[in-house]
Amino acid sequence: MNRKFILLVEDNPDDELLIVRALRKNQIWNDVEVVRDGVAALDFLFATGPCCGRDPSDLPAVVLLDLRLPRMHGFQVLRRIRADTRTQDLPVIIITASWEVEDILSGYSLRADGYACKTSSFSKFVNALGHLGLEGLLADEPSPAKVKALRKAHQEFSGEEPSEPIHLGMND
Q: Are residues 106 and 37 in the same domain?
A: yes
Q: Are residues 94 and 157 in the same domain?
A: no
Residue 11 lies in a domain: yes
Structure confidence at residue 151 (pLDDT): 64
Q: Are residues 129 and 162 in the same domain?
A: no
Residue 55 to residue 124: CA distance in whole angstroms: 36
Structure confidence at residue 172 (pLDDT): 37
Domain that holds residue 126: 6-140
Q: Cα–Cα–Cα angle for 115, 118, 120, nearest 5°?
A: 110
Q: Are residues 83 and 110 in the same domain?
A: yes
Residue range 72-128, pLDDT digits in tens: 999 999 999 999 999 999 999 999 988 889 989 999 999 999 999 987 689 999 999
Residue 8 to residue 126: CA distance in whole angstroms: 16
Q: Is 92 left (phi over 0), alpha (psi -120 to 50) or beta?
A: beta
Pick the more confident residue, 26 or 119: 26
Which segments of the chain does DSSP mark as H helices, in order?
13-25, 38-46, 74-83, 101-109, 122-130, 134-138, 144-158
Neighbours of 73 (CB within 10 A): 15
Residue 1 lies in a domain: no
Q: Are residues 95 and 22 in the same domain?
A: yes
Q: Are residues 52 and 103 in the same domain?
A: yes
pLDDT beyond 80 at 164: no
